[in-house]
Amino acid sequence: MNYSSIFSSIYSQIDHLSNRGELATYIPELGNVSPNKFGVSLLSISGEEYSFGDFDERFSIQSIAKVLALVLAYASENEKLWKRVGVEPSGTAFNSLVQLEYDMGIPRNPFINAGAIVISDILISQLKNPKADFIAFVRSLSGNNSIDYCERIAKSEKNSGYRNAALVNLMKSFGNIENEVNVVLDFYFNLCSIQMSCSELTQTFLFLANKGINPNNNERILSLSKTKRVNAVMQLCGFYDEAGEFSFKVGLPGKSGVGGGIIAILPNQYCIGVWSPKLNRKGNSYKGMKFLELFTTKTETSIF
Amino acid sequence: MNYSSIFSSIYSQIDHLSNRGELATYIPELGNVSPNKFGVSLLSISGEEYSFGDFDERFSIQSIAKVLALVLAYASENEKLWKRVGVEPSGTAFNSLVQLEYDMGIPRNPFINAGAIVISDILISQLKNPKADFIAFVRSLSGNNSIDYCERIAKSEKNSGYRNAALVNLMKSFGNIENEVNVVLDFYFNLCSIQMSCSELTQTFLFLANKGINPNNNERILSLSKTKRVNAVMQLCGFYDEAGEFSFKVGLPGKSGVGGGIIAILPNQYCIGVWSPKLNRKGNSYKGMKFLELFTTKTETSIF
Amino acid sequence: MNYSSIFSSIYSQIDHLSNRGELATYIPELGNVSPNKFGVSLLSISGEEYSFGDFDERFSIQSIAKVLALVLAYASENEKLWKRVGVEPSGTAFNSLVQLEYDMGIPRNPFINAGAIVISDILISQLKNPKADFIAFVRSLSGNNSIDYCERIAKSEKNSGYRNAALVNLMKSFGNIENEVNVVLDFYFNLCSIQMSCSELTQTFLFLANKGINPNNNERILSLSKTKRVNAVMQLCGFYDEAGEFSFKVGLPGKSGVGGGIIAILPNQYCIGVWSPKLNRKGNSYKGMKFLELFTTKTETSIF
Amino acid sequence: MNYSSIFSSIYSQIDHLSNRGELATYIPELGNVSPNKFGVSLLSISGEEYSFGDFDERFSIQSIAKVLALVLAYASENEKLWKRVGVEPSGTAFNSLVQLEYDMGIPRNPFINAGAIVISDILISQLKNPKADFIAFVRSLSGNNSIDYCERIAKSEKNSGYRNAALVNLMKSFGNIENEVNVVLDFYFNLCSIQMSCSELTQTFLFLANKGINPNNNERILSLSKTKRVNAVMQLCGFYDEAGEFSFKVGLPGKSGVGGGIIAILPNQYCIGVWSPKLNRKGNSYKGMKFLELFTTKTETSIF
């Protein structure tokens, strides 16, 4: 399929839309990004790459990194991982704390903050040098040694991270956190601070479209069964309170971050990454969502 | 693929499992079914059919009928349907009422009871003779004129349906129910009382695997886009509080009912129906879930 | 104490306040009242009466009648009444339904709608001719045979009473309603439609300040212990989500209604009734609350 | 009234009851107390004292100290205190976190943990040497310089205080905590660790029965109006989820602690303190509640 012409046709369509939405501002660093950045990158498992706009500029991938943390923890923890975190969508944000309380400290899924904090706790227990080992894993996936945490962002998160501190303390009161509260939060805030470009994202996540194997070096990252399960969890839980909307309109497993990035997977075909910093009311990239909706509609590709 | 040998191999595996779970007993009629019934039927879009066990015995399809109600309402209401009901998973059952209250009477999705009640209300406003027209639609889909409501079941539901009466009244207090409370409940209880066999289910639902077209007569039931969207809603909301688990382990869009039936769809390939009345703790057929998990694992078919 | 001069001094103070708040409009009938009505009446157990303004004009006493329903049910049901309804304050209104669900259909107290509906159900089971017998009880308390239900108000409540219908159905689903849903609602809507003036209110409720004995005829209505308990429940649960505020600022047991009436009790001394139809944000009479706050401050009378 | 004979008669009645309930064990230190301790002390504003059993043995007063923290903060903060904490009962414990979230970090009242933590934060900002100044205040109230924090208990609380850490972090995320999280928690855990005997409790709290004046030295602690308001808040919020029950059965403002202590006030008459470590299901002293119920019933004293 000629993705190039589809990309440019959709790009011009979206260009005519006013760029609605708002920058994330809950940490000051995220508010400093130029709001009209817009990049797209598609990488197929056969190695074709189509990119557009600001596709090679790095941005804060934020919650997209939660998928990588899950992958690394799941690879060695296996199915017993799911005793500490669920696989169910979370319902509306308004009851995040009551649900955690009702479920005795077991988060609904690994992509809500509480769930990614539990995954962080698991990685800290698993890894010898947690932060160094984790970024090494990300670099090896992406084939790019310059990918790194952003200290400024991590520090900014920490300075306003009282709500996450509430979550980790609540889970520790239920016995679902093994390590020191501050150590867990430090890892978690660093995790969310990783920076990549759209094309680096597609390199990094392509194994999820390729049955768990990194196509660059044929290394198996996850078994086929685990790969499908990670995709399934993304499908149901990857877009905050808009998972249904995304599934409905785009029809691909994926994950978004409040930095305005989104990755999506069409199994056995491609990985696509988009970035545009302004967010809709639900916290997902306004233009990014539009782009993906038009793209899967035009190409008639979706998992459904 | 030789589905026949896979069916019989899985069947014998499951036969060695103890038949755990419990019959639904919230209405007396459902408790009268023989608990060891077990049937399976697969129908491909090219017309191949594989069936096993009690595949041609009718049972109460219960909530599976909610998909048919959605399809008929969506076909003529189009996208404005989604102003009255959402497409997001519902989170845990424990807060169903508070969520409805928080969302001002708009149910999270068309498959929770509140959502199917709103769809019933829409159909009552749309159809000239609601109950007769709806069953005629089901009969035409299935190609079988003997499919019908079960008066005994519908009456049994009505006699213990105070919780559903609470839901419809609450929604009416928010202005999201147009018709008389009793008329809406009567339609809804009848909807849930429809009886089919596994092989009738696959006939009826095959169009969802076939881009919206009934393969028997090439009649278009839904547009391609709407078909994908109905599948997406099933994927995210089809299994009560076990949607994630089903997506994770089975990886197909589907819908279950408390009568012990499940239908699942592999787009462009097949529709599968299973029935076994004992339910797991989340209200889904114990053996049915196991069968589908083993089936998609063995055949390596899933949407992910 | 010279209540007359205190009354007139406070009256002129409040007269200088702008009459803030809003008329209740959830039923049309309540919106038709002249918003600047303002009446006060105090009746001491020794028979002194002080009245002011529109003290002898009847208005819809609404939830104030719930106290009378509780008194009649409690008198013959005794302490086993509390198996079906609690005595704890209800917390914020926003979770009324989830709390009812969490507590398996047992309302937190007899003054939230759900609780008064359970009391109505108890009275229907107790009384031979529920509506007639109940109004006879109210008339005997007040010594006034012209007190009556207002059919227009009761009908208006019924026409928009879907939320109350939701409550009664939810409780019936938990087995905490014995009678037919419609019969219970009819009694409840009539209960809330009773009309009295401020001076009739003080006549009717004076026994709660007099150890349970009607001072007019020395008839015992409730035992001393039950009288104290009804006063305690009013103290904690009588003002919707403003019970703490009322206790804090006024310091008397009492009960308000959305018609703008309030009664309050100083045990062993007096009963006071005020009426002003405009309500504050919490649903209690704006001027009525102010009047009582100034009155107990000036007279240095309160239970604390 | 001859309190002595009433005390001994009730004591023997309660002695015949089996000592039901359980010791608080959420911190190990509280589980080490001898479960059959039982002491009572009554002190009237005219200086009469009646004591019984283990009345002069110190125990951990726990949440009873929250009243003293409120008194000290209220005395200098005045009514603007109530911008940071409410005066409404809290409803069931199960939704403590969701309510805090719904109310944007403003606790319902100063006696739930979140509320006492806010009061601690206010005192830390007010006082030069918070811990030293606060215990000096308590010592001056009680006329006893040996009253002190218990380091062992405070440390034990800190080691298992993750839930309180969750609360303070959640409130800080809403801007309702000024000081460092750890400083606030340290003060709060010390506050809860204070130890007193029943007779020291009555000395300390007698001013609340005496219009705000310490009868020992005629020092005014609180204005009359503030004293009434503190009593009102105790009445509505002093007994966790059993405030209604206590109001209903005992009919006095009071406050309990999980160490098994209770204080109660009859305005213008007396202060009473009881201690028995085994707690009922709601977390209040089993024998203590029984004693007070029988005592106010026998003496026919209550505020209602």
Does C95 contact B at CB distance below 8 Å?
yes
Task: Check C170 against B97: CB less than 8 A apart.
Answer: yes
Residue C91 pLDDT greater than 80, yes or no:
no
Q: What is the pLDDT of residues A235-264, one digit of tens each?
A: 999 988 788 889 989 999 999 999 999 999
- pLDDT for the residue D25: 77
Q: Do A89 and B243 touch (CB under 8 A)?
A: yes
Q: What is the pLDDT of residue C269?
A: 95
User: If DSSP codes are grouped into helix, strand and coil, which group holds residue C267?
Assistant: coil
**Low-confidence residues of chain D, pLDDT below 50?**
94
CA–CA distances in Å: residue B104 to residues B184, C28, C99, C163, C289: 19, 21, 18, 12, 30
Residues 6+ apart with CB under 8 A from C229: C74, C87, D248, D249, D304
Residues of D in Cβ contact (< 8 Å) with C251: 228, 232
Among A91-95, B133-137, D63-67, the minimum mean pLDDT is found in A91-95
Size of chain D, expressed as the number of residues it contains:
304
Whether pLDDT at C93 is above 60: no
Least CB-CB distance to C244: which of D87, D249, D304?
A: D87
Residue with tokens 């009061």: D119
Q: By residue range, what is the domain housing residue C228?
A: 3-299
B contact chains, 3+ CB pairs < 8 A? A, C
Residues in chain C: 304
A162 vs D contacts (CB less than 8 Å) = 169-170, 172-173, 181
CA A177 to chain centre: 22
Question: For residue A77, is it within any domain?
Answer: yes
Identify the weakest region by mean pLDDT among B146-150, B285-289, C101-105, C174-178. C101-105
The pLDDT value given to residue B271: 97
Q: What are the pLDDT digits (tens) for A10-66?
A: 888 887 777 778 888 777 888 888 999 999 999 999 999 999 999 999 999 999 999
Asked if the structure places residue B266 within a domain, the reply is: yes
CA-based torsion, C274, C276, C277, C280: positive or negative? negative
Shortest distance between the Cα of B28 and any Cα of chain A, in A, equals 31
CB–CB contact D303 C304 (8 Å): yes
Q: Is residue A169 scored above 80 in pLDDT?
A: yes
In a domain, C246, yes or no: yes
Residue C152 lies in a domain: yes
Nearest of D296, D143, D141, D290 to residue D213 by alpha carbon: D141
Interface of B with C in 193-252 (CB under 8 A): none
pLDDT tens string A255-300: 999 999 999 999 999 999 999 999 998 889 999 999 999 999 999 8
Q: Of B6-10, C190-194, D141-145, give the lowest mean pLDDT range.
A: B6-10
Averaged pLDDT, C106-132? 96
User: Average per-residue pLDDT in chain C?
Assistant: 92
> What is the distance in angstroms between the Cα of B304 and the nearest Cα belonging to chain A?
5
Residue B11's pLDDT band, with cuts at 50, 70 and 90, is confident
Q: Is A162 on the interface with D (CB under 8 A)?
A: yes
Of D70, D239, C170, A15, nearest to B165 (Cα)?
Answer: C170
Query: What's the pLDDT tens digit per position in C39-63?
Result: 999 999 999 999 999 999 999 999 9
For residue B238, what are the CA distances in angstroms to B20, B110, C224? Answer: 22, 9, 58
B40-52 pLDDT tens trace: 999 999 999 999 9
Residue B294 lies inside a defined structural domain of this protein: yes
pLDDT band at C1 (very low <50, low <70, confident <90, very high): low
pLDDT of residue C74: 98
- pLDDT of A95 reads 53
Q: Spell B200-215 as b/e; 16+ CB within 10 A means b.
A: bbbbbbbbbbbbbbbb
CB contact under 8 A, C88 and D251: no
Residues β-bridged to residue D51: D41
Residue D196 lies in a domain: yes
pTM: 0.89
Of D94, D101, D165, the CB nearest to A169: D165
Residue B100 has pLDDT above 90, yes or no: no
Q: Residues A214-241: pLDDT tens digits? A: 988 899 999 999 999 999 999 999 988 7
Confidence band (pLDDT; 50, 70, 90) for A93?
A: low
- The sign of the CA dihedral C128, C131, C137, C140 is negative
Q: Can you tell me which residue has the tokens 């997001």?
A: B88
Across the interface, do C91 and D109 touch by the CB < 8 Å criterion? no
Region of C300 (left: φ > 0; alpha: ψ -120 to 50; beta: rest) is left
What's residue B92's pLDDT? Answer: 61
Number of domains in chain D: 1
- Residue B237: the pLDDT is 92
Could you tell me which chain A residue has the CA closest to the CA of B102?
A: A94
Query: Which DSSP state fits D196?
Result: E
D74 occurs within a structural domain: yes
Query: Tokens representing D226?
Result: 């503030």
Q: Are D267 and D145 within 8 A, CB to CB?
A: no
Q: What is the pLDDT of residue A32?
A: 85
Q: pLDDT digits over D124-173, tens only?
A: 999 999 999 999 999 999 999 999 999 999 998 888 899 999 999 999 99
Q: How far apart are the first and last CA of chain C?
A: 19
Structural tokens at position D113? 């943990």
- Contact residues on chain D for A94, CB-CB shorter than 8 A: 101-102
The chain-wide mean pLDDT, for chain A, equals 92
Query: How far is B254 from B237, CA to CA, in rounded Å?
Result: 9
Helices and strands per DSSP (H, E), number in chain D: 12, 9
Percent of the residues in chain B that have a pLDDT greater than 70, as a whole number: 98
H/E element, D155 = helix D151-159
Q: Could you tell me if A90 lies within 8 Å of chain B, comparing CB atoms?
A: yes
Within B94-242, residue ranges assigned H as helices are 96-102, 113-126, 130-142, 151-159, 162-173, 181-191, 198-205, 224-237
The reply to whether residue A166 touches residue D173, judged by beta carbons under 8 angstroms, is yes
- Note the pLDDT tens digit of each residue in C219-229: 999 999 999 99
Q: Which residue of D has its CA nearest to C235?
A: D236
A211/chain D closest Cα distance in angstroms: 40
SS3 state at D1: coil
CATH number at residue C64: 3.40.710.10
pLDDT of residue A262: 97
Instruction: With respect to residue D304, please indicate whether it lies within any of the assigned structural domains.
Output: no
- Helix or strand run (H / E) with residue D188: helix D181-191
The tens digit of pLDDT for each residue in B149-178 reads: 999 999 988 888 999 999 999 999 999 999
The whole-number pLDDT of residue B1 equals: 61
